[in-house]
Amino acid sequence: MCASYGLGGGPHDLQLTFDLPPMHEPESRARIAAWAREQRFTARITGRIARNLNPLIHEGFGDRRVDLGWWWLHVDGAPARFSAFNARSDALATKWRGPLQRRAILPAHWYIERGRTFALPEDQLFGIAAIVTPVPQPAAPPLLSYALVTRAAIGPAAETHPRMPLILARETHDAWLDPGRRADAAFVADVVAASDAIAASAAAIDRPAIV
C-alpha cells in the first residue's frame, strides 16, 4: 500500500512543475513551494507527532484550489482508529460512501512502493485520486483529511505490489473533482478503466535493492 509519494525531488532531483490547474496560480505556487522546502518534496502519512500536511487539489469550498490536507481520514473529528491512509477503489462505493462524495487530486511526480520509486515516462506530473473528509475547526475553514485511492496494479508496477495509486487520466480530472457529481460504483469503475493506459506506463526509476 502506498505510504509515500512526492512532488519534485525524488531520485531524479526534479524541479517543481505546476501544470495541473490551479497549481500555476501565484498563491498555489507559493503554498506548494513552501511545502516542498519544509517537507523535502515528500508527502508522508500525517501522524500524532509529525503533523505534516500535504498539497491537494479540490473544489470543496467552491472554486478549484490547492490546500494542504491531513493524510489519514478523520472520523467524528479525529483520525480514524483503523487504517485510513489508503482506500481501495473497489471498496469506495461501500466502505467509503461518504468520503467518496468529496474527492480531491494529489499532485505527484513519483510514488514509493516496497522501497521502489515509480514515475511516469519523462517524469510527467500526474494526479492521484483521493477521497476527503472535512474536519470542522473553530473560527477557521475546515481541515481537510484524505485517503489516497489505490487500484489493482498493472504494467511494471504489478511486479512489485498488487496495488498501486489510482493515477487519474487527465480527461477524468473534471468529473473526479466535481462536487455536484454523485459518485457510485459505476462512476468509480469508469474512472479506473480510463486510468489503465497511464497506470500501465508507470515504471520503477531507481535500482532494485540488493538482497
Residue 210 lies in a domain: no
Residue 36 lies in a domain: yes
Residue 211 lies in a domain: no
Residue 35 lies in a domain: yes
pLDDT in tens, 102-138: 999 999 999 999 999 999 999 999 999 999 999 999 8
pTM for this structure?
A: 0.96
Residue 162 lies in a domain: yes
- Domain range for 112 is 4-204
Q: And the C-alpha cell for 145?
A: 483529511
Question: What is the sign, positive or negative, of the torsion defined by CA atoms of 41, 66, 140, 74?
Answer: negative
Residue 140 lies in a domain: yes
The structural domain count of the chain equals: 1
pLDDT in tens, 149-204: 999 999 999 999 999 999 999 999 999 999 999 999 999 999 999 999 999 999 99
Q: And the C-alpha cell for 208?
A: 532494485
List the one residue out of 100, 9, 113, 22 whose CA is nearest residue 65.
22
Question: Tell me, what CATH number does 102's domain have?
Answer: 3.90.1680
